[in-house]
Amino acid sequence: MPLVRRPLLALLLSLVVLLSGGLPSAAASTLEQRLAGWPAWSLPAPLPRPGARDLVYPAWFEGDWRATSADLSGVEPEIEYAVRFIQDPSGRIVGDRAFNANSVGRALLGEQLQRVRNDPQNPNRQLADLSGDRYLESTVVGRRSERPPKDQFLADELSLQVLHGPGDPRVSQVETLSRYVRIDADRIEAQQWQVSYDSPAAGLIADAKRHWSGTLVLERQP
């Protein structure tokens, strides 16, 4: 999960957001260079396909947290929700994606969100059942992470989102870049930048259509 606050259905990704090691870090400047170009991002992005590998976080993410998300434009109200990071069978720290996406989705959508299901064969794919005979299919199709010094962590994910329901499916792509900073053992602060693109059916080369930025504060819970 990227752990991201974003335009309505677009946020039901990962978040949760969001959010080492999913892929080996390349040049430490890759995501810094990407960030420098925001909001004028375009596709293709410098994000390798993740395959069936999840996003792995630093050890200091492990545990339960209260997340507070704020929209830097001030247009959207601040929201709070719970997030969780757990050990996978190999002992790596990963986001509890279904729990996190359900928590964020409930905070934004209320009863419109019925449940979130993980794909047992692919940690990068989720299904969110919505009211009105709709469901949102989200698949992470690109990812890069980096670990700069001084308790920082950067992660960039590109997701393909398909909203199924009455009528034709609605397809979009959403890219979210997050920079996390460990303040102390009980607090993590982040800045997040996001853009939306048209469906890949429109072509492999695409310019950003909408953009958003915000802050995220994680406070450890007992």
Residue-range domain boundaries for the chain = 8-220
pLDDT tens, residue by residue, 132-164: 999 999 999 999 999 988 899 999 999 999 999
Phi, psi of 160 (to 5 degrees): -100, 125
Please count the CA atoms within 13 angstroms of the CA of 75 that sit on its side-chain side. Answer: 7
pLDDT at 4 over 70: no
Question: Rg of the chain over CA atoms, in angstroms?
Answer: 16
Return d(Cα 169, Cα 11) in angstroms, integer. Answer: 18
Q: What is the DSSP letter of 202?
A: G
Q: How far apart are CA 165 and CA 181, in angstroms?
A: 39
Any residues with CB less than 8 A from the CB of 123 and at least 6 apart, and which? 52, 53, 54, 94, 97
pLDDT > 90 in the chain, percent: 82
Question: What is the structure's pLDDT at 22?
Answer: 38
pLDDT exceeds cutoff 80 at 12:
no
Give residue 9's pLDDT band: very low, low, confident or very high (50, 70, 90).
very low
- Using DSSP bridges, classify how beta strands 206-207 and 42-43 pair: parallel, antiparallel or unpaired: antiparallel
Q: Is the pLDDT of residue 31 over 70?
A: yes
pLDDT tens for residues 49-99?
Answer: 999 999 999 999 999 999 999 999 999 999 999 999 999 999 999 999 999
As a whole number of angstroms, the distance between CA 4 and CA 27 comes to 25
3-state SS record for 49-79: CCCCCCCEECHHHCEEEEEEEEECCCCCCCE
- Please state the rounded mean pLDDT for residues 20-25: 37
Q: What is the pLDDT of residue 18?
A: 41
- pLDDT, tens digit (0-9, with 9 covering 90-100), for 111-137: 999 999 999 999 999 999 999 999 999
Q: Residue 149: what pLDDT?
A: 82
CA distances from 24 to 6, 28, 53, 108 (A): 27, 11, 11, 33
